[in-house]
Chains A and B, each alone.
Chain A
Amino acid sequence: MNCQKFESIIDSVAREQMMEAGASTAALEHSAGCARCSARLGDERSLTAALRVLAVAAEAETAPKHIESALIAAFRQQAGSIQTLKRDTKRMTARRASGDWWKRAGAAAAIVLVALSLVVLRLQHSTPPATQENPASRSAAPPSTSAGEGRPNQPTKPAEPIRLKKNGPPRRNLLATRSGSEPAKGSDKTGSEGANAAGAAADRGFEIATDYIPLTYGTNSGPLDGGQVVRVELPRSALTALGLPMNAERLNERIKADVVLDNAGLARAIRFVR
């Protein structure tokens, strides 16, 4: 061991701390042969002894009694304030629970009333357009009245509504099938009647639909000899175009419709399905 290594562990040697087994012996051997390191070790040991004497002398020193008294008083005050706070909180909670029950009941009743009103309003808005109109008045209205009467936004006047209330899933090429298996009964049969028969054949379904509304184009299109019924989706603004009421809140939604096409591909009637 050299003097530098000795200096690095001299504290531990002087304080008799736990250290490597050989290190302490080597340090003592080095100090025995080195006068300078021996003196250093003597100083460090003296210092350690002096500090221990000081530590022992200080053991009797304690805080004065009045500090304990003051602290206990402070503790009581704090504990008292906490207890008071807890008691007040409990009292307020109990008062709220017992005294204000009728206010809470009133609030709950008001909430229930508002919720019921909302449900009723929603049901009213979700009713299909056909149910909002009076079918009797619609059918009673003369189908051949002049176009646009009483319906300023209606581009074409439905000449004669086709009465169909309920029908099934969309039927494709229904009239063509009928015309194939059961030929049309003469030219006097109107397109409306053909479509009506087609709708009647689909009464097994669960959809709700409006009556078929004939579409005219200013000129007499003639009787419907045959054609197809095509299921399409239209913007809800189409309801307005045909003079039907529409929920403005659902303007952006789409609505299903069955369109009767004649053999030339011309739309002859339409109904809205829900």
Chain B
Amino acid sequence: MATLADPSDFELLQAMRAGSEEAFTLLYRRRQAAVYRFALQMSGSAATAEDVTQEVFLALMRQAATYDPDKGSLSAYLYGVARHQVLRCLERERPFVSLAEPETEGPTPEALVAPADPLGDLTRNEMIDAVRGAVLALPPHYREVVVLCELHELSYGEAAEVIGCAVGTVRSRLHRGRGLLVDKLRSNNKTNPSAGDVKLAGCFA
């Protein structure tokens, strides 16, 4: 591959299509985290997120010719493919109700180390879990907008490009999704008084 200081996504894609493994690796490393996180935040399952990430880059590998740079960024294209894959997974798994607790893969190495501020970290982790759960409880069409605009900091226009809808639709869905999140977090505070100790969620009480 030609040595470029900071090749664009499209340049990497072209090199990848020409057979450059280095370009593919670079492109994967640049974009995999966003794709994986999006899939994880949409599905709540690490296994699904891994499958989706793999499928997205396999699709890029096999159908790179279908990408048109005039229609949008490669990032938006990858988000779009990931969204499609996630929605398929959600549709497939909808008939099944999980009776088990959310999957736990054992304590991470970081969790085994005594934190400097255990109470502060605990409340922070509780708050993060509460918000994550609230996001996952949203209907998919609100969830995807919240994830894209709030967690991935995409603009309304970029989110509209990924989802394939109008900017106004994104705006209204985000407004509605945020409203549902506030309601959800407030109801959590009512049912779980200990959560009231969480500073950030305290105002929902």
Q: Which residues of B contact A82 (CB under 8 A)?
A: 19
Please report which residues of chain B, range 142-171, place their CB below 8 angstroms from some CB of chain A when the two chains form the complex: 146, 150-153, 171
- Known: A53-B124, A76-B21. Is A62-B33 also a contact (CB below 8 A)? yes
Q: Which residues of A contact B171 (CB under 8 A)?
A: 11
Chain A to chain B contacts (Cβ below 8 Å), 17 pairs: A11-B174, A44-B178, A45-B203, A46-B201, A46-B203, A47-B185, A48-B150, A58-B37, A58-B40, A59-B33, A59-B37, A62-B37, A64-B50, A68-B25, A72-B25, A74-B61, A76-B21
Q: Which residue of B lies closest to A43 (CB)?
A: B182
Q: Is the CB of A43 within 8 A of B128?
A: no
Q: Which residue of B lies closest to A40 (CB)?
A: B182
Q: Is the CB of A50 within 8 A of B50?
A: no
Q: Which residues of B contact A72 (CB under 8 A)?
A: 21, 24-25, 28
Q: Is the CB of A53 within 8 A of B36?
A: no
Q: Which residue of A lies closest to B20 (CB)?
A: A79
**Is the C-beta of A248 less than 8 angstroms from some C-beta in chain B?**
no
Q: Which residues of B contact A113 (CB under 8 A)?
A: none
B43-56: CB near A (< 8 Å → 1, else 0) gives 00000011001100
Given contacts A50-B200, A51-B150, A63-B53, 19 further A-B contacts (CB under 8 A): A43-B182, A43-B203, A44-B182, A45-B203, A46-B200, A49-B200, A50-B185, A50-B201, A53-B131, A54-B131, A54-B151, A55-B150, A58-B40, A59-B37, A62-B32, A63-B32, A63-B50, A70-B54, A79-B19
How many residues from B make CB contacts under 8 Å with A? 46
Q: Which residues of A contact B16 (CB under 8 A)?
A: 75
Q: Which residues of A contact B131 (CB under 8 A)?
A: 50-51, 53-54
Q: Which residues of B contact A169 (CB under 8 A)?
A: none
Q: Which residues of B contact A42 (CB under 8 A)?
A: 203
**Is the C-beta of B85 less than 8 angstroms from some C-beta in chain A?**
no
Q: Which residues of B contact A59 (CB under 8 A)?
A: 33, 37
Interface residues of B (CB under 8 A from A): 16, 19, 21, 24-25, 28-29, 32-33, 35-37, 40-41, 49-50, 53-54, 57-58, 61-62, 124, 127-128, 131-132, 135, 146, 150-153, 171, 174-175, 178, 181-182, 185-186, 200-204
**Is the C-beta of A249 less than 8 angstroms from some C-beta in chain B?**
no
> Residue among A53, A63, A75 with the most chain B CB within 10 A?
A63
Q: Which residues of B contact A68 (CB under 8 A)?
A: 25, 28-29, 32
Q: Is the CB of A83 within 8 A of B181?
A: no
- Known: A47-B181, A51-B131, A54-B131. Is A71-B19 also a contact (CB below 8 A)? no
> Residue among A42, A49, A54, A64 with the most chain B CB within 10 A?
A54
- Among all A-B residue pairs, the 5 with the closest Cβ atoms: A63-B36, A51-B150, A46-B203, A55-B151, A62-B33
Q: Is the CB of B127 within 8 A of A47?
A: no
Closest beta carbon of chain A to B124's beta carbon, Å: 7
Please report which residues of chain A, range 47-105, place their CB below 8 angstroms from some CB of chain B when the two chains form the complex: 47-55, 57-59, 61-64, 67-68, 70-72, 74-76, 78-79, 82-83
Question: In the complex, A51 Cα to B186 Cα: how many Å?
Answer: 15
Q: Which residue of A lies closest to B21 (CB)?
A: A75
Q: Which residue of B lies closest to A8 (CB)?
A: B175
Q: Which residue of A lies closest to B25 (CB)?
A: A72
Q: Which residue of B lies closest to A86 (CB)?
A: B19
Q: Is the CB of A78 within 8 A of B128?
A: no
Q: Which residue of A lies closest to B125 (CB)?
A: A57
Q: Is the CB of A61 within 8 A of B40?
A: yes
Question: In the complex, A74 Cα to B49 Cα: how many Å?
Answer: 19
- Known: A46-B203, A74-B61. Is A67-B54 also a contact (CB below 8 A)? yes
Q: Which residue of A lies closest to B130 (CB)?
A: A50
A71 touches which of B36, B57, B146 (Cβ 8 Å):
B57
Q: Which residues of B contact A79 (CB under 8 A)?
A: 19, 21
Q: Is the CB of B200 within 8 A of A61?
A: no
Q: Is the CB of B50 within 8 A of A78?
A: no
Closest beta carbon of chain A to B79's beta carbon, Å: 15
Q: Is the CB of B49 within 8 A of A75?
A: no
